[in-house]
Structure 1
Amino acid sequence: MDFRFSPKAGIFFRLGQTLGFAALLIFGWAGALKAESNLKISGRVIDSLTGRPVSGAAVEILETGKKTTSNQQGEFFFYDLPAGNYQLKAEFPSFTSQTTAVKVFADGETRLEIQRSPIVRMGQPVIVTAESLAASASQPSLVFDQIQLEKSKHLSVAQLLSRSAGMELKAGGVYGSTERITIRGSAINQVLVLLDGRPLNSNLRGEADLSAVPVEALEKIEVYKGAQTARFGPDALAGAVLLFSKKPENSKRIEPKLRSEIGSFGHHSIGGGTNIHIADGTEANFFYQNSSAAGDFDYTYKNQEYVRKGSYNWTNRAQANLRHGNLESSFFWAKARRGLPGDVLNLTPFSSEHDERFGISLAFKPRWKSGWFFEPETGWEKLNQHFKIPDAYAKYDTRYKSEKKKLEARLGRKTPGALFQVSSDYTESSLEGTDYFLPTRSLGKTTRRAGGAGLLTDRHFPLVSYFTFAASGALRADWTDFTPPAYSPLFSGSIYWNRAVKTRLFASWGKSFRLPTLDALFWKEDVFAAGNPNLLPEKAQSREAGYRLTLPILGRLNWEQSFFHNDLENLIVWQRNFQGQFIPQNVSQAKTFGREERISWQFPKILELELNHTQTEPINESEFILHQGKQLVFRPRHIHNARISAAYGITALNVTGRWVGKRFTRTENTKYLPPYETYDAQFSLSPKIWKLEWGFTLAVENFTSRRYEILELFPMPGRSYRFGMEVKW
C-alpha cells in the first residue's frame, strides 16, 4: 500500500483512510460499554496556608454515599451524577472539616476548589468556591495539567505540544535528539521558554531545546500565543511556553517511582523520583533520568538507500525542589552528548556537541488574607557548550560559556475576580566563545544587560449569574545597555455565556519585540555562514479574535476557532547569498495571518476524539521585487492533527495522525520540502500488583514508516517502537 500523500487529496479523507481501522477498533471497544451520565463534580484540595495541593484527603457526597480521595495533585472526581443539590464533605488528619452545599448544573460539569485550614486554625471554615466559568481574559491559549501529562509520559515535551493547533515541531533525528517548537509560523528563537521562571533560551542562538526537560518532571505546561512581551519580557515575540516542575507534596509519605524504557535505534532510559518529608512545613522532591540512543537509521535520498550514522544522543537530567513555608527553591542540571551528522550533502559522522546546563532559583512567596502578595525571586543559570567538527570542509573546535543572572520582584493584590500586579526585573547575560582550531574565529566575550518594569491588571465583571465579562491589560517597558527603551502593551477581553450551550468570545491586541541573537550579530565568517552586526531588533503587532462553544451532546462537544494577524518589522531571516552562505538579514516588512480550529468530543470516562487545523499565511512584504509577496521559508500553510483516545478500567489506547503541508526552502519560493503525514499509536496498562502501582506502555511512532524531512536535508527515521515500564510504591 502506498502511504505517500497527494496534495490534491482531501486531508480528512487521507487521515480517515489511515485512522479508520483504529476508529472502528476503539468504537467497537467503547460501544460495548454502558453509556454513562456526563455530569460530574471535579475539584482540588488546597492547603490555604501554602497554596499547595493536599493528597490523600477524603471527600464524600453525603446524599449518595460516594467517596473518593484526592490524588497526588490534590484532585478528586465524582462521575455519573444527576443534576441537583448535594452536600460535599472533605476531611484530612490535622485539618478541619465541614459540610458544604454544592450545586451540579445541567451543563455537565462543575469545577470546585476546596481550601482548608490546618487544625491550629480551627475557627476557620472550609471554603468551597466554584471556579469562574469565564476564565481570565489573559488566560493561556493551552494548558496541560498533571493528568494530561501523566497520560503523555511516552512523549517528549515538544511532541506533546506539536499535537495542538498552532504548534510545530522542529527536529532532525531519533527520539531524544534536539527538539524545538514554533508558534503560528514563527522562528524557533521567537518563542520564549521558561522553566519555573528561568529562561531556557540560549544566549548564543536564542533557541530553547525542549528535550532537556522530560515530561515526567513537570506538573503543568502553559502556552501563551501571540505578542507576549508585556507579560513575560523580551524574546516572547511569537509567544511563551511556561514549564512548571512538580512541587513537593504536603504528605509525610515517601512515594518513590521508577521508570525504564527501551526502544528502536538503541534507545533506552531509566529514571525515577520521590517526595521527601523533611519536617513539618518542609518538603522536597527529586527527579533523575538517564537516556541514550545509538541513533543510526536507514533513509532514502534520490532513490538510493543509505544509513544515517553519527546521530547518537546521551543525556543525564536531574531536578530538585525544596519548600519551607513560603520559601521555595529549585535546582536543574542536564548534561548531554549528541552527534552532529550534518545534512545528507555534507555528512560529518564524527562531529559532536557536548552541553552541560545547571541553574538554581530562590523565591519567597508570602500571601496575606487581604489578597496582597509580594514575591521576590532570583535565579542563576550557566550553560557550557562544546562543538567539535573535525570532518567538515571548515573544521571547528569551539567552546561557549553562557551565563544568566536574574532578579525579579512582583507586588500586587489578588481577590475573587480581580488581579493587580506591578513587577520589575533585571537580567545580565554573558557569552564567551573560543575556537581552539582557529582562534581568529573566536567570538570573544560579550555581556548584555537588560531591565524591565511592568503593570498587569485583570478584572471580572459578572453581569448576571450566567453572563460574565472579563478584561485584562498589561504594559511593559524594557531597556538594554545598547538599545533605546521599548514599550509593549497588551490588552485582551472575553465574554462568557454559561447556559446549556456554553459560549466564550475573546479578543486581544498587543505589541512585542526581540533582540537579535549573538550568533546572528557576531558569527565569524566561514564557508557556510556569516554574521551581520547591522541587524535591527524584530518588532511585532499581534491581533487575535475567536470563540469557543461547549455543547452537552452525548458527553461534551467542544468547537473552537480563532483568527490571528501578526504584522512584523525587521524580521530576521537566514538567507543564502550567491556564494551559498547563510547570512541573517532584516526583512523590512512581513505578516503572518491565519486561523486555528479545533473540535473535540468527550464521551465520559471512555472515549475522546479531536481534530485540529492551523492555516498560516506567512507573507514577505519586503521591497525587493523577487521576494515581495512570497511565502516566508520553512513555514507550512496547513497543519492538521487527529487524535482518537479510549480508556476503560486499567487499559488505554491512543492513536494520532499529523499532516504538514509543503514548506518553501528558498526566499524566491523556487524549492520546497514536500508535504508529509505521520501516524502514532500507544497502548498502556495500569494494574495494581503486590500493592504496588504499575504502568506498562507500548508506543509505535510513524507506524506507516513514512520517509520525510522536517528540516531540509535532515531525514527523519521510519517506524520505531518504545516499551516503557514504571512502578510506584
Structure 2
Amino acid sequence: MKKARLPRNKESGFFLGDIDIKKSIVAILILIFTFSLFAGSRVDGFVTDIYGEPISGVEVTIENMPLGEITNTSGYFHFYRMKNGDLTLKFSHIGYVEKKVKVHSGKKDLISLKVKLEDKEYILDEVKFIVDNSDSGVKTIISPRNIEDSKSENIMDLLKSSTNLNINSVNGVNTKISIRGAESNQVTVMLDGIEINSSMDGSVDLRAIPTDIVEKVEIYKGGDLKLSSKAVGGIINIITKESIEPIGFELGYNNKTYFSNRDRWEKSYSDNNNYSLSVSKNSENYGIIFSSSLSDNLNRWSYIDVARANEIIYINNDNIAKNRKNSDFKSFSTFAKIKINTMFSPTLILSSNIKKTGMPGWIGKLYYNSYIENEEYRGSFISKHNSGKFNSKLNLYGSYSEKKIVIDEPVTMFNGITKDFYRNFGLKYDLDYKDYITLYSGFEIKRDGVNSIKLKGDHKRDLASLYAQAEKKYKLPNLDHNLKFFIGGRFEYSSSNKKVEPFYSLGIVYDYRSSLFTIVNKSRYESTYRLPDFSSLFWFDNSGSQGNPNLLPERGVSVENGTYLTFNKYIDLTLSFELFSRNIEDLIVWQKKSNGIYIPINLNGGKIKGFDTGIDISFFDDNLKIKSNFSYLKTKTETNNHATDGKEIVYKPKTNLTINFDYKVDDITLSYRYTRVGETFLTTSNKFPEYPYSLSDLKISLNNIVFGNKLTTSLKLNNMFDEQYQVVYGFPMPGREIELGFKLKF
C-alpha cells in the first residue's frame, strides 16, 4: 500500500511588524505551548543497511504524532525536540524491513541512534522480485497473502490461478508443468529445498500438496545453483508453514461442479468434495502445526473429441458430447511440523499421502476400469543455528512410496498389474557467512532407488554435490546506486555416469533507490543438467517401448536479464521486463524406430528464447489492483533430420497473456482473470497446430465474523464461457466449473 508522505520538521520564524496584535498574541501562546510540549530530548542518528552502508530516503516517523523526517544521502536524520516520555520511532523504506525503536525522552539532552535495516523482498502481489543480499536470480514468489486470497485447495490450482506458468493435469494422473518452454520432467520441484520429483520418470503430482501447509512458493525460472544444478527447466520450491499463533484451529470445505453447455447437467458432475483441517500452537518452548486434507472427486464432465486441433477434422466431426469417466481422484494427506525453540531450532517434519486415481485414457483409446494407487511417506529433521556472521542448516531426509498400476480393459484385451517401489534418503548441509563479502556453501549426498518389474528389478543411484557462491556488494560514492557481483560453482558426482560434472553461475545486480522510484536490473548466467530418469534408462521391451542405458545427461545453459521499475510516490505502479534464452544439448526424446519400437535417444539439442513483461498498478489505497503478464517464446529444434531440424518444439505456446482485476469493498473481494494461450504445434514437422484458446475466471469472496470467528466464503466460476480446448492433443480439458468453498478460522 502506498504511504502518504508526512511533512518534515521545519524551523518557524515570526515577523510581527505588520501583524495584528491579537494574532501575534495567539501565535506567541501557540509557540510557548509547542515548546512546553516538546521540551524533551533532541534525537538524531544514522540509518544503514546490515553492511554499514548509509540508506537515504528512509521515512522516520513517531508513532501517534504528526512528525516525520527523511534521511539524507548520508543516512542522517534529526528531530530538534521531542516531548517527555516513552516514544516509538518507526523507520520505513520500500527496499527494507520496517523497524521500530523505543526511546525515553527527557533524561538526556541528545539521544543519538545507529539503526540498521535488513533488505526485504519487493511484493508485486502475486509476483515479488528480490533485491536483497541473499538472492541474485530472477525469482517469482507467491506470498502468504496471495495463497489465502486464491482460495485454492492444492498447489496445482494455486499455480494455475496465481502465475502465468503453463500448469495442467491432462491425463488425470500427473501434473504437466512448463516454465519458459521446458518439459515437466525438466522442472525440479522441491519441498523445503528437497527435491520431490519421481526418480522413475521425473513426474510430480502437485494436487497432492494442499495449500493449508504452504507458507510461500518460490519459482526460479532460470534455476539456482544454491538449490540444485538439476534445473534445466527451472525450479519450484514450496516452503511449508511454521506455527506463529498461540493457538489456531481451521476447518475448510470445497465443492466443485462441472456445468457445460455441451449437454445436460447430471448430479454426478457435482460429486467433487474437498475437506481440510489444520491445528497450530506456538509457545515460548515449541511450535507445532498439523494439517489433514481429504479429497473425493469424481471429476466427471462432458467433452467432444477434436477441440479444433485441426479445423478440417473439426468441421467434419459430429462433435457429439461425451461423458468423461474413470477420472476420479481420491486422496488423504497429513502433515505435521514440530519445532523446538532452542539454540539449534530442531524441527521434525512428517507427511503422508494416500491416493487413488482413475486412468481415463485418451481420445481413441479410452480406459474404463484402470486406476493407479499411490502411498507416499516423507520425513525430515532440520537443525538451524545462527551465530552472528555464520548461519548453518542441517537437513536429514528420506521418503518411501509404493505405486500400483492396474490395467483392466477386457474389451481392448489390454490387462496387467504392476507394482513399483521408490525410496530415497540423503543429507544436506548449508553454511552461510555474511560480512565484507557474502559466502554461501554446502553439500548434499543422497541415494535414489526404484524396484519395478517394468525396469527388470532393482536400480540405485548415488549422488553427491558440493557448491559455493561468493557475492560482493558495492555502493557507488555519493550516489544511491548499488552494485552486486556474484560467482558460484557446483560439482556433482553420480554413480550412473561415474564422473564429476562442474556447473557455474555468475551475474550482476544493479539497483537505484530514491523516494520517487526504485529500479533494479539483474543479469545471470547459469549452467545446469538433468540425469536420465530410470524409466528412460532401463524400461524393458514390451513390444512397444524400450529403455536406452547409453543415454547421456541433458545439459543446459540459461541466460536471463530482468529489469524492474517501481514508483514509490504518487502512484503504485511496477513495471517488469525479462529477456531469457535457454540452450539444451543432448536433449532426450522418445523416438519411433523403423521396427515400430519407441526408444529414448539424445538429439543434438533445442533452443528457447523469449521475453516476459508485466505491469502491476493499484488504485484507491490498494482496493483496486490490475496486473498483467505477457510472455513470448521462440523455440527451435536441432536434429539430424531435415524434416524436423529447425522446427518449433512441440507443445510450446508461442504467447501467453494473463490479466487480473481485483476489487475490494469492505469485506468483499471480486476478482477476474483472463488467460490467452497462443498457438502450439502437435508434431515435430509443425504440420498440425493446436489453436489458441482463451479462459475467463471469476471469483467472489466474503469475510464474516461469526461468534467471534472468521468465516470466509468463496465462489469461483472457472472457464466461465465454457471454452473447448486441449493442452495436449487427445486429452480434452473441462468446460465450465463452479466452486463453492468455506473456511472457518477459530
TM-score for the superposition, normalised by structure 1? 0.81
Q: Who is 1:269 aligned against?
A: 274
Q: Is the 8 A contact 2:154 2:208 kept in 1?
A: no
Q: What does residue 401 of structure 1 align with? A: 421
**In structure 2, distance between residues paired with 1:625 and 1:702:** 40
- Could you tell me which residue of structure 1 aligns to residue 532 of structure 2? 516
Cα deviation for residue 419 of structure 1 reads 2.7
Residues 123-150 of structure 1 show CA distances to partners (whole Å, capped at 9, x for unaligned) of: xx99762536843452451011211111
In 1, Cα distance between the equivalents of 2:698 and 2:5?
A: 29
The whole-number CA distance in structure 2 between the counterparts of 1:517 and 1:694 is 46
Change (3 A) 1:116 1:233: farther
Give the partner amino acid of 1:373: N
Which amino acid letter does the alignment assign opposite residue 158 of structure 1? M
Change (3 A) 1:248 1:40: farther
Match of 1:378 among 392, 396, 411: 396
Q: Which amino acid aligns with 1:519?
A: S
Partner Cα distance (2:101, 2:551) in 1: 55
CA distance in 1, matches of 2:494, 2:576: 39
Which of the residues 483, 486, 489 maps onto 1:472? Answer: 486
Pairing of 1:57-456 with structure 2 (within 5 A): 62-64=62-64, 101-104=89-92, 109=94, 111-114=96-99, 129-131=117-119, 134-136=131-133, 138-154=136-152, 156-162=154-160, 167-172=165-170, 178-228=174-224, 230-249=225-244, 251=245, 253-264=246-257, 265=269, 266-277=271-282, 280-301=284-305, 302=317, 303-324=319-340, 325=342, 326-368=345-387, 370-391=388-409, 392-415=412-435, 418-434=437-453, 441=454, 443-456=456-469
Matched to 2:182, the amino acid is S
Secondary structure at the counterpart of residue 536 of structure 2: helix
* Distance of aligned partners of 1:656 and 1:40 in 2 relative to their CA distance in 1, 3 Å threshold: farther
- 1:533 Cα deviation after fit: 2.3
Amino acid at match of 2:132: A
Residue 574 (1) aligns with residue 590 (2): yes
**How do residues 666-681 of structure 1 correspond to structure 2 at under 5 angstroms?**
666-681=683-698
Matches within 5 A, 1:479-498: 479-483=493-497, 484-498=499-513
Give the Cα–Cα distance (whole angstroms) in 1 for the partners of residues 207 and 250 of structure 2: 21
CA distance in 2, matches of 1:431, 1:547: 44
1:33 counterpart residue number: none
Residue equivalent to 1:18: none
Retained in 1: the 8 A contact 2:193–2:237? yes
Match of 2:740 among 717, 723, 727: 723
Amino acid at match of 2:296: S
Alignment partner of 1:558 is 2:574: yes
Distance 1:629 1:40 in 2: 56
Q: Is this contact kept in 1: 2:274–2:294, CA < 8 A?
A: yes
The letter of the residue matching 1:129 is L
Quick one: distance in 1 between partners of 2:95 and 2:649? 45
How many Å separate the matches in 2 of 1:488 and 1:163?
34
Q: Give SS of 2:207's match.
A: helix
Can you list the C-alpha shifts for 1:447-471, whole angstroms capped at 9, x where unaligned?
0001010002233222256211122
TM-aligned CA deviation for residue 422 of structure 1: 1.7
SS in 1 for 2:368: coil
Do 2:354 and 2:375's aligned partners in 1 also have CA atoms closer than 8 Å? yes
State the AA in 2 paired with 1:654: S
Taking every aligned residue pair, what percent have the same amino acid on both sides?
A: 20
Aligned to 2:50: none
Rounded to whole Å, the distance in 2 between the matches of 1:358 and 1:673 is: 39
Q: Deviations over 1:587-606 (max 9, x none)?
A: 21211111111111122330
Question: Is 2:518–2:568's contact at 8 Å kept on the other side of the alignment?
Answer: no
TM-score (norm. length: structure 2): 0.79
User: Within the alignment, does 1:621 sit opposite 2:638 as a pair?
Assistant: yes
Answer with 1 or 2: which has the greater Rg: 2
For residues 247-298 of structure 1, the C-alpha deviation after alignment (integer angstroms, 9 at most, x for no partner) is: 122x4x3211111111213111111111124x63212110110012111111
Change in Cα spacing, 1:281 to 1:40, as seen in structure 2 (3 Å) is: farther
- Look up the equivalent residue of 1:248 and give its one-letter code: S
Matched letter for residue 698 of structure 1: L
1:480 corresponds to which letter in structure 2?
A: S
SS in 1 for 2:723: coil
Comparing 352-361 and 527-536, the one that deviates more: 527-536
Letter in 1 for 2:715: L
Shift in CA distance, 382/607, structure 1 to aligned 2, threshold 3 Å: same
Q: Deviations over 1:569-595 (max 9, x none)?
A: 011123445666543222212111111
Q: 1:84 touches 1:104 (CA, 8 Å); kept in 2? A: no
Matches within 5 A, 1:606-617: 606-617=623-634
Q: CA deviation at 1:389?
A: 1.0
Task: After TM superposition, give the deviation of residue 522 of structure 1 in Å.
Answer: 1.5
Contact 1:194 1:243 survives alignment (8 Å): yes
Rounded Cα–Cα distance in structure 2 between residues aligned with 1:348 and 1:336: 19
- The answer as to whether partners of 2:90 and 2:98 remain within 8 angstroms in 1 is no
Output the CA distance in 1 between the equivalents of 2:114 and 2:513: 26
Other-structure match for 2:724: 707
How big is each residue's C-alpha offset from its partner over 1:18-68, in whole Å with a ceiling of 9 and x where there is no partner? xxxxxxxxxxxxxxxxxx964499xxxxxxxxxxxxxxxxxx9744369xx
In the alignment, the residues of structure 1 paired with residue 596 and residue 574 of structure 2 have an alpha-carbon distance, to the nearest angstrom, of 49
Give the secondary-structure state (helix, strand or coil) at the position aligned to 1:216. helix
Match of 2:520 in 1: 504
Q: C-alpha separation between the residues in 1 aligned to 2:90 and 2:325?
A: 61
- In structure 2, relative to structure 1, the CA distance for the partners of 1:409 and 1:550 (3 Å cut) is same
Match of 1:591 among 579, 587, 607: 607
For 2:61 and 2:577, how far apart are their aligned partners in 1? 37
| Amino acid in the other structure paired with 1:220 | K
CA distance in 2, matches of 1:581, 1:38: 65
CA contact (8 A) 1:267 1:292 kept: yes
SS of the equivalent of 2:559 reads: strand
Residue 173 of structure 1, CA deviation: 6.1
For 1:292, the aligned partner's letter is: D
Which structure carries more relative contact order (alpha carbon 8 Å, separation 6+)?
1
| Gap regions ≥5 residues in structure 2 | 7-59, 72-76, 80-84, 103-112, 123-130, 258-268, 306-316
Post-superposition offset of 1:677: 1.3
Give the deviation of 1:635 after TM superposition.
1.1
1:599-610 counterparts in 2 under 5 A?
599-603=615-619, 604-610=621-627
Contact 1:366 1:374 in 2 (8 A): yes
Q: Answer whether contact 1:633 1:667 (CA < 8 A) is retained.
A: yes
**Closer/same/farther in 2, CA of residues 166 and 702 from structure 1, 3 Å limit:** closer
Aligned-residue offset at 1:529: 3.2
**Long gaps (5+) in structure 1:** 1-35, 42-59, 67-80, 89-96, 118-124, 435-440
For 1:663, the equivalent position in structure 2 comes to 680
The answer as to whether partners of 2:329 and 2:355 remain within 8 angstroms in 1 is yes
SS in 2 for 1:384: strand
- How many pairs are equivalent? 630
